[in-house]
Every structure is written in structure tokens, then in C-alpha cells.
Amino acid sequence: MWWLYALLVGFILYSLWMRQRAGLGGGAGPAGLLSMGRSQGRWLKEDEIGTTFADVAGVDEAKEELTEVISFLREPERYQRLGAKIPRGVLLVGPPGTGKTLLARAVAGEAKVPFLSVSGSEFSGILQGLGVARVRDLFRQAAAAAPCIVFIDELDALGRARTSFANNEDREQTLNQLLVEMDGFSENEAVIVLAATNRPEALDAALMRPGRFDRHVLVDAPDRTGREAILRVHTRKVPLADEVDLAKLASRTPGFTGADLANLANEAALLAARRSSEQVTNADFSNAIDRVVAGLERKNRLLGPDDKKRVAYHEVGHALAAVLAGSTDKVHKISIVPRGFGALGFTMQLPIDERLIMTKHAIDAKLVGLLGGRAAEEVVFGEPSTGAQNDLQKATEIARAMVVDYGMSEAVGPISVSSSRKVAFLPDASANMPRGVGEHLADVIDTEVRRIVDEALTRAKSVLTEHREDLERIAKRLLETEVLEGEELERLLAVTGRPPANGGDASS
């Protein structure tokens, strides 16, 4: 243990020295010692924030979800009097550069309350106990300044799922302290904790429990209209030539995030300045787009035109195959705006009305829709791609459930073979088989699952081949607009002459 203390003393002396060298003051004696356990958070007073909702564009849904938080911070008494429960923690989730940090500041700016921000990464790699002390201090400061906002950026750096590895102990204690502080807040304290992450899957589940970060706000990459609005924000102070059309620029920049668009506007202005021009022209923007795109492609963040086309046909394949197979779910939305979490595009289907049971017919149709993406790729491009992985996984699960749970396969019959209770007297070879499933039956099950998926894929391919023109037409439209929904989507899908109908959630 002695070495730990030696290390601690060494670290303290070192950091004191660094502080003094940097002229940060407070370096002498106990003041410096004490300040180590102080939160590294930065305060912005109400009048220093200077960011409002007007500075954030293309994320209207997120803004709407945050208005309640703002009105609470403005007049906490009004809510407290009525005993209304206000979310304690709100987690902003979305890909990098979509405006999460900006949005958090804007909430404080709109609410006109002080803003205390820290980054989760400031808590990693520091000594045992120090992180705990800093978290405690952070919340003490916040309680004293209420109403206010505490913003924890990159929450994942602090709240990564706990593992059993000993070297995670420091972070684990820091995370525990954060949980303790959030729980310890009295219901009515007017402190709202906002946090941001682009890796929600990495977060410890304990952070999401009620009373902690139980409110999640999606801050997604903008669609075309969103991009236009963001460009408008970032060209507010830029003298644009008359020829510059922001709507056109928006359609030329699919996959750009808010940060990319801010970058674009800046690059264009720089190019104009280099020409000693008074105005930023279309040519400046074109050159700037080329630069930004090159940078993004290098970072593998942007779909090339070929990939984009494939994704469009894939998604329309889902929608069209589902409709043509008589699926009972309505296709609500098709999008090829990259989502930043792996999915390149998605097709959202919801049941027309809530159903507790599904007929075999409905499940069959659902499978056809699910495989429609791959089918479209095969029909149009002659070969499949890796893009259908998730669809195949879902389809296989459903087909297996039809066989082993629902007795929907004639070859296996109306028996349930899914419960995988281990039976002690079974010979070892089949110990992992579902109950009562001999090797022969296991083979039959596999063959049946395979047959069901095969048939659905064949059906999807044949309906899409039959309606190849519709497929082309809708995919072309989707490539233009990136998102199809509402009346337009209904109209596009309706020409197939069948009622839109089954599927489930989003498939990519």
C-alpha cells in the first residue's frame, strides 16, 4: 500500500507544480490541495451563455421535448406548488456533431439560468477518490446555484457499463457517486442534469433508472429541410451572392451533420475571403463542399453515391414488398438519412391497430417485407450486400418461432418444442437440445426454418420483379428527398392497388 500513498503525494506535488507553472494561482499550500477535489466544471452565468434555440436548427422534435425543462427552470415554483414531477436527468443521444452540446447550452440560454458543464472524460484516469470528490463538489455547487443546469458531456466516458475488472474501480466509484448525487436530490430542487452521449449502448443501465437519466432525447442527423435551416443559421452573418440557394445546397449535402454544415459555411467564407471577394458565391460553396466531403469520406462518415442508391432500393424494397404481400402494418416512413448508429437507412412500419395475436398469414407477409430489402438488392443490382444482415437475423428468428413456438410448420406439426429445459437423462450429445427434440427433429426444424425464409425471399423477389417500375419510381423519389412519409408515401405506395398492410418496427 505504501507505494499508493507515495504515488498520491507525488501526483499532488506534481500537479501543484504544474499549476504554479501555469500561473493558475491557488498553487500555494492548502488551497492548492483542496482545489484538486473541486469540480473542474465551468460555470457560465445566465448572461454569458449567448446561445438560444434560434442557434439550433433541424432538430425540432428534440427542441420540443426540451421546452418542458425550460419552462420548469423559468418558474420552478409553479411546478413545485402543484407537486408535479419534473425529469431530473435528460440524456441527449445522437451521433457526433449533431448539436447536443449546443442544444444543452441553448436550453440554459432559453431558461435564463446558469450553466455548469463538465465532460465525462475529465473523470477518467484520475486517482481513486478524486473523481468522487469532484462529483460531490459539482452537485454541491449546482444545489447552491439552483435553478440551474448541470451538463455532463460525453457521459459514456464516466458511465460506461461496470465490469468486474479491478482497474475500473476508480471510474466505478465515480459513477456510483453520480448515482448517489442524482438520487439524493430532493424531488423539488430546481437543478436539471443534462447529459450527452453518442454511445448510448455503452452506458451503465443503472444510469437510466427512474429518477436518473430516464428521459432520452434523440438528436439525429438532419434531413434535407433540417440542413437548409442549419445553413441558414450559419450564414446569418455571411454576405451571400444572390445566386446562392440554400435549399439547393441542402440537397447537395446529404449525410452532413450540423457541425459539418457549420464547417461548410466557414470554408466557403474563407475561400471567398481568399479571393478578396465581397460576397460568397455558388462556386465558393461548391469548392467548400468538395473539401468537406473529401474529409468526411476519408473518415468513412459519408455514403458514396453508389452506396446511397443501394440503400434507397433496399429500403423501398422493404416497404413495397410488405405492401404487396398484404402486410397488416402501415409503412409510416422511409429514410436514407444515415443514423449514426450503424443503420444506413430505415423503414418504419407500425400495426394499423393494436393486435395481440397474429395470424400465420400476417406473419408470412411480415417476413416478405423483412426480406424485401435484400430481394430488391438482388433484383436491381444482381447481388446481395452486407446491408441485410440485421434483416436476415430478424427473419430467421421469426421463422424459427413459427416452427418451434407456434406450430406453424406442417413438417414439425402443432407442437411446442421451444422450451430448452435440460433433461438429466438425455445422453450428453443432445443435452443442449430443446426438450424432447431428437436429432432427427432438430434437422427437420432447421430445414423448415430454412424453407420458410427461402420462400419469403422468393416471394419478395417475385413481387418486386413484377412491380419493378414502382420500385424504380419510388426509389428515385427517395434519393431526391431522402425521407418519404405521410401523404406522399401513401400515394406512392397506393398505386400498387393493394391496401397497405404488416411488419413491426423499423427494419434496415
Catalytic positions, written as ranges:
315
What distance in Å separates the CA atoms of residue 173 and residue 66, rounded to the nearest whole number? 30
102 binds, among Zn ion, ligand ADP, Mg ion, none (CB under 5 to 8 A by kind): ligand ADP
Query: Minimum distance from CB of 9 to ligand ADP (Å)?
Result: 38
- Told to check if 295 binds ligand ADP by CB under 6 A, we report no
Residues that bind Mg ion (CB under 5 A): 101
What element of type H or E holds 460? helix 439-466
Cell numbers for 314: 433496399
Check residue 463 and give left, alpha or beta (phi > 0: left; psi -120 to 50: alpha): alpha
If one asks whether residue 58 binds ligand ADP (CB under 6 A), the answer comes out as yes
- Report the nearest approach of Mg ion to the CB of residue 504 (Å): 33
Q: Whole-number minimum distance, CB 237 to ligand ADP, in Å? A: 13
Query: Segment contacting Zn ion (CB under 5 A): 182-190, 326-334, 373-381, 454-462?
Result: 373-381
Taking the least distance from each CB to ligand ADP, the nearer of 93 and 471 is: 93
Using rule CB under 6 A, residue 8 touches ligand ADP: no
- The C-alpha torsion from 455 through 459 and 465 to 467, rounded to 10°, is -170
Give the footprint of Zn ion on residues 157-176 (CB under 5 A).
Answer: none
Q: Is 508 in the site for ligand ADP (CB under 6 A)?
A: no
The answer to whether 57 contacts ligand ADP (rule: CB under 6 A) is yes
CB of 502 or CB of 508, closer to Zn ion: 508
* Nearest to Mg ion of 96, 211 (CB atom): 96
As a whole number of angstroms, the distance between CA 70 and CA 110 comes to 7
Sign (positive or negative) of CA dihedral 141, 142, 145, 150: positive
Specify the residue for cell string 436491381. 380
Give me the least distance between CB of 110 and ligand ADP, in Å please: 14
* Distance in Å, CB of 391 to Zn ion, minimum: 4
Cβ neighbours of residue 96 under 8 Å, at least 6 residues apart? 198, 257, 259, 340
When CB distances are held under 5 to 8 angstroms depending on the partner's kind, the choice from ligand ADP, Mg ion, Zn ion, none that residue 58 binds is: ligand ADP
Cβ within 8 Å of residue 35, ≥6 positions away: 26
Task: State which of residues 233, 246, 283, 392 lies at the interface with ligand ADP (CB under 6 A).
Answer: 233
CA atoms within 13 A on the CB side of 365: 24
Question: Which among 52-60, 315-323, 463-471, 492-500 is the span making contact with ligand ADP, rule CB under 6 A?
Answer: 52-60
CA-only gyration radius of the chain, Å: 28
Query: Among all residues, whose Cβ is closest to ligand ADP?
Result: 258
Cβ(275)–Cβ(234) below 8 Å: no
Gap between the Cα atoms of 478 and 482, Å rounded: 5
Residues that bind ligand ADP (CB under 6 A): 56-59, 94, 96-102, 196, 230, 233, 258-259, 262
Site for Zn ion, rule CB under 5 A:
373, 391, 507-508
